[in-house]
Amino acid sequence: MRRQPRSSGKRVTLMVLLVLGASSLAALADLVIHVRTFTIGDESVSGLVVLVVVYGFLATRVSLPWYYALWLLVPFVGLYALWKISWRVAYLPWRDWALRPGEARSEFDVMHDVNGVHERMVQVRKD
C-alpha cells in the first residue's frame, strides 16, 4: 500500500516548522558569530548567509536552481521565495510542480483520489 500525499493542513504545518527551524538555525549562527568575535550590533549578515545556504540546498531538491535562494536577500520578494521553497519541501516525496528543463526524470506517476477528485501526482524515486 502506497502512502497518500499530505493534506493541505499537514503541508502548511510542515512549511511553518521548516521556516521556523531554518530561521532558528540562522539566528543561532548569528549569535555564535557575535559571541566568538565579541561584537554587538545588527551589522552581521552571517545568519542571512546561513539561511541562503540552507535554502539554496533545499531549492535544488524541489526543481529550483540553487541561486533561487538569493531572492531571500531582496526585501518582500524574499518572503515569496521562502514560502515557495518551503511549500515544495513540505510536500516531498510527492511533486505538484513541473520539472525544470534538463532535469533528470527520477520519479514515477501515482494516481490518487484527493477530495473526491482523481488526480495525477508524482512521487520521487529513492534511487
Q: Please give the residue range of the domain that contains residue 115.
A: 93-127
Q: Give 120's pLDDT tier (boundaries 50, 70, 90).
A: low
Does residue 110 contact residue 122 with C-beta atoms inside 8 Å?
Answer: yes
Same domain, 26 and 72: yes
Lowest mean pLDDT among 10-14, 36-40, 84-88, 92-96: 36-40
Cβ neighbours of residue 63 under 8 Å, at least 6 residues apart? 88, 95, 97, 98, 99, 100, 103
Same domain, 126 and 111: yes
Between residues 73 and 37, the one the model is more confident about? 73
What pLDDT does 127 receive? 46
> Is residue 75 predicted with pLDDT exceeding 80?
yes
123 within domain boundaries: yes
Between residues 121 and 27, the one the model is more confident about? 27
Same domain, 64 and 108: no
> Is residue 88 predicted with pLDDT exceeding 60?
yes
Same domain, 25 and 81: yes
67 within domain boundaries: yes
Number of domains in the chain: 2
Same domain, 77 and 104: no
Amino acid at 88: R
What pLDDT does 70 receive? 92
Give me 73's grid cell. 536577500
Same domain, 54 and 113: no
Same domain, 78 and 113: no
> Is residue 76 predicted with pLDDT exceeding 50?
yes
3 within domain boundaries: no
What pLDDT does 108 receive? 52
1 within domain boundaries: no
pTM, entire model: 0.68
Same domain, 42 and 77: yes
